[in-house]
A and B are shown apart, each in its own frame.
Chain A
Amino acid sequence: MNGSALRIRGLHKAFPKVIAVAGVDLEVAKGEVFGLLGPNGAGKTTTLEIIEGLTAADGGEIEILGLTWSRHGREIRSRIGVQLQSTSLFNKITPREALDLYGSYYPRCRPTSELLALVQLEEKADAHHITLSGGQQQRLALALALVNDPELVFLDEPTTGLDPQARRGLWDVVRGMKGEGRTVVLTTHYMDEAEALCDRLAIMDHGRVIATGTPASLIAELAIPSVVELTFNGSAPDPADFAARLGLAVEQRGDLWEIPTPDPKALLPRLLETAEAAVIPFQQVHIRRATLEDVFLHRTGRSLRE
């Protein structure tokens, strides 16, 4: 696992009304599962499409498997696998035909039956594409991304729109890719997905990478590994007064208050005492580990789902 699968320097892309990518640097090592995490509109998909050769960048350098688009376009295309955010195929093509056809575009391809089994589409192998469910179409798109036995796989929001069970199934496929030594670059706006799958992450917002690292290191950098949550019966009251009494930052998020803390065990007695004294009508207290969601919130002041 030496050398990098992908290296990007100073990537820029402006559309007529918005700057989509504003100077992105990334480096992905071979054999790594790398995630681009960020809210919708952060520039993840544009970044990925520039790397895949679908969109021309305004500036920046891209090196894929040591190759560049200007000189090795055809070779890059034959060594990467791509799942687009929405894969629109011809309505009346069947999964078996699609895998056969797309496989024929490459110098090396995997057997269709193996791919159908991998994404559990054997039963639907001969159904017209338009009759497949969203999840089945998504699985076919994933199989198509693997049709050429690629070294580097790009997955754009691979689990968006899938039910929880299908998501788990897809996670297993991604882990399988890593097991086979492939490099995977995926985008997601699900923090749990990023935590579960990715070796390393880049968090994106407004076209920039605002943090890079392993999920664990990103959370550790917060220095507040835990969050105490107070839930209310109905909407949460204004926490300003309570925060002043407690002497700690209290953030109101929807129906609950969040109090980030490095040491929940020490905080808890004081918290309950203060709540009692201030007659705070809370329902329950939860203590949870900090997540990537908190990392994003901390860095941008906004939630991932906004």
Chain B
Amino acid sequence: MPPFQNAAATNNRCKATLAQVPHFEGLSSEIQEAIAAAAALRHFDAGQVIYLEGEPADYVYILESGWIKATRMSRDGREQALLFLRPVDIFGDTNVFVGTNYPCTVTTLEAVDVWVISADTLLKLVRQYPDLAMAVIHKLGQRVLNYIELVEDLSLRGVEARLANTLLQHAELVNGQLVVPRREWATFDAMAVRLGTVRDVLARALKGLEADGLLKVGKVEIVLLDPKGLTERSQI
């Protein structure tokens, strides 16, 4: 593992990042100081691996900048996206508390800065500070809810409905139009992984929605032409 940068010199930067983590913003300055003292800054370029599924879960990460994705390969070799995270958020925390290996592979979608804390240190801090334990419980609870949504999505919705739902969730209003920027969909393969399907099935679903006038696929973005119609299709 490449050497960590000196964390002491960037203590304030770490605390500023911590203050932006949902559920962590209310932590006392003493707790933030303790976490910052234990954290080290690391940089990853786009496309790099932060950790692999099946590696010992030795570290917890706080995403300060850049996008990451978490994927997991099933026993039959199909890759499923579990999470797409944008700053500021925590990841790698789930398995620290049960002592198992990382359940997924995390890779960077663009250049990323993360704060790294050893799992042992986090466990010590959680035992020492009940408020930190509560913040972590909130975070883990939120993650469970996200996975329940994913299970519902994969088990109860067809590919077209999942596609419509995901497009609506990630659309942004640009010049009066709802668009999904290309950074959300680096490639067709990435889209397929995200939706738990394969490229050909996804391409058919996308073409179907385009043929029905619900969206238009461009080189740098997908324009949602009929959000109401897409909402109806996302329920099927």
A binds B: no
- Give chain B's interface residues, CB within 8 Å of chain A: none
